[in-house]
């Protein structure tokens, strides 16, 4: 079995690319979605987050997303510490998930694949990139954030160029869905060649 890391910044369309891989029969573990679930359901992780950010990190049993965002995106050190705490829980959860998979290629989607060190467990990596204009438009439509809120988050992310230079493959999500599907299919063929697979 080969693990392929899929990464990219906000608004590039990682989830859309991941869904296409899934539709093609390649299981996808979404680190970001599972992290949010674990932050609510994993008592040990929840306790560590409260120790780091205080009791206001939760409203009842739910994450206080606005409070957490306000804290970590204005303080790079807090963001780094939270990422470390959450990454450990995600790493353990991924290990359980991957042990149940039978596909020869599995995809691990993560916004912070390199920053968290998750790439070390991958056999290959893919960057998804898009123009800044398209990214901003997607984020505004999806999340309803202001330009300031978006920039607060983007300044804490690695540049697309840096991510692209670290990955084995790159998908440019600047056109329509058909173009994207074609690029994913092309990347699948490249992965098969890279891993010397006939799947």
Q: Please tell me whether 16 is known to bind a ligand.
A: yes
What string of DSSP letters covers 74-115?
Answer: T-HHHHHHHHHHHHHHHHHHHHHHHTT---SEEEEE-TTTTT
Q: Please tell me whether 11 is known to bind a ligand.
A: yes
- Contact 3/108 with Cβ under 8 angstroms? yes
Q: Please tell me whether 33 is known to bind a ligand.
A: no
Q: Please tell me whether 117 is known to bind a ligand.
A: no
Q: Please tell me whether 116 is known to bind a ligand.
A: no
Q: Please tell me whether 144 is known to bind a ligand.
A: no
Residue ranges at the known binding site: 11-16
Residue ranges at the known binding site for ATP: 11-16
């Amino acid at each position: 079995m080969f693990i392929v890391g899929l990464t990219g910044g906000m608004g590039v369309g990682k989830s859309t690319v991941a869904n296409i891989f899934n539709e093609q029969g390649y299981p996808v573990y979404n680190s970001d979605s599972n992290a949010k679930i674990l932050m609510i359901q994993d008592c040990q992780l929840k306790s560590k987050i409260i120790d780091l950010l205080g009791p206001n990190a939760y409203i009842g049993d739910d994450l206080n997303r606005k409070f957490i965002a306000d804290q970590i995106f204005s303080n790079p050190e807090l963001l780094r510490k939270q990422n470390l705490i959450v990454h450990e829980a995600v790493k353990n959860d991924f290990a359980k998930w991957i042990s149940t998979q039978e596909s020869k290629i599995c995809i691990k989607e993560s916004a912070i694949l390199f920053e968290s060190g998750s790439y070390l467990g991958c056999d290959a990596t893919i960057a998804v990139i898009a123009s800044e204009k398209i990214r901003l438009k997607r984020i505004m439509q999806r999340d309803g954030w202001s330009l300031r809120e978006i920039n607060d988050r983007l300044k804490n992310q690695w540049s697309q160029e840096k991510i692209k230079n670290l990955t084995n493959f790159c998908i440019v999500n600047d056109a329509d869905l058909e173009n994207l599907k074609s690029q994913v299919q092309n990347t699948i063929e490249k992965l098969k060649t890279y891993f010397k697979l006939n799947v």
